[in-house]
Amino acid sequence: MSQLNLVLLGPPGAGKGTQAHRLREDFALPYYSTGDILREAIASETELGKQAKEIVERGDLVPDDLISAVIEERLDSGEADDGFLLDGFPRTIGQAEMLESALDKRGRALTAALLIDAPDDEVVRRLSGRRTCVKNGHVYHVEFDPPKREGVCDQDGSRLVQRDDDKPETILNRLEVYHEQTEPLIKWYEERGLLRRFDGTRTPDEVNSHIRATLATLALEAEI
C-alpha cells in the first residue's frame, strides 16, 4: 500500500479533532498532535524529552527544531511507515520547510495537506455557544446540544458557564493569529499542489466521506 503522509490544517472549531479521530480509525494511521507527542516525549524521558522538559518548565515556547526532532523520532520508530496524521505542526512556512526536508531525507514526501475550513462567523457561533459544567466539565452547546434546563448540567445538576476560551473576544483573537500564520502556509501548500480543501460547515459524516474519497484517489494516483 502507498503511504499516506498527511497534515491537517484548519481554524479552531472547524471539526479538525473529530475528523482526525475518524481518519485514525479509517486508515489506522498514527496521529501526532504536537502537544501530545511533546508530552509523551517528556513523560518517557527521551533525550529530546529532557530538553523539552527544561524549556517547558522555564515557561518558554518549544523551538521549531526541537518539535521537528520529536516528530522525526516518531517517523523513525517504524510505527509511521505507512503514513501519519500530523496536527498542530506545521503552523508556519518555516515549519513546513522543516517537515519537507525531514521527509525528503527519508525518501518520503507529504501526500496532502487537508484543510478543514469554516468561515470566522461559523467558528464563533460554534465555539461561543459552548457551555461547560463547573463540577465535572461536561460540555453542552446552547444551539446544537442544549441541556434540558437552561444553565444546568443534565448529569450532575451543577451550573453551566462559558469558559474564557469560548468567549467571543478570545475566539476572535485566536482566529486572528490563525489567519496571520496559517494563510501563507495554505498558499504555500496550494502552490505545491498538495492542498485539499474540505467544507467544515458540512456534517462530520459528509466531511469524512469527502476526505476518504480524496485519499482513495490520492492512493490510486500514487500507485500509477
Q: Which residues are catalytic?
A: 16, 91, 130, 163, 174
Rank residues 22 and 130 by Cβ distance to Zn ion and give the closer one: 130
| Whole-number Cα distances in Å, 168 to 17, 134, 145, 200 | 20, 19, 19, 19
Beta bridge partners of residue 32, listed in sequence order: 86
Rank residues 66 and 152 by Cβ distance to Zn ion and give the closer one: 152
What is the x/- site pattern for Zn ion, positions 11-50, by CB under 5 A?
A: ----------------------------------------
Q: Contact, 128 vs 163, CB < 8 A?
A: no
Question: Which 8-state DSSP code applies to residue 166?
Answer: G
Residue 160: CB minimum distance to Zn ion, A: 8
Rank residues 36 and 154 by Cβ distance to Zn ion and give the closer one: 154
Rank residues 143 and 156 by Cβ distance to Zn ion and give the closer one: 156
Question: How far apart, in whole angstroms, are the C-alpha atoms of residue 7 and residue 97?
Answer: 13
Helix (H) or strand (E) holding 139: strand 139-141
Beta bridge partners of residue 18, listed in sequence order: none
Rank residues 42 and 133 by Cβ distance to Zn ion and give the closer one: 133
Alpha carbon distance, N-terminus to C-terminus of the chain: 12
Question: How far apart, in whole angstroms, are the C-alpha atoms of residue 19 and residue 36?
Answer: 17
Residue 147: CB minimum distance to Zn ion, A: 9
**16 alpha carbon, distance to own chain's centre:** 6
Q: Please confirm whether the linkage preceding 11 is cis (ω < 30° from 0).
A: no
62 belongs to the binding site for Zn ion (CB under 5 A): no
Range 119-158, binding Zn ion (CB under 5 A): 133, 136, 138, 153, 155-156
Q: Return residues touching Zn ion (CB under 5 A).
A: 133, 136, 138, 153, 155-156
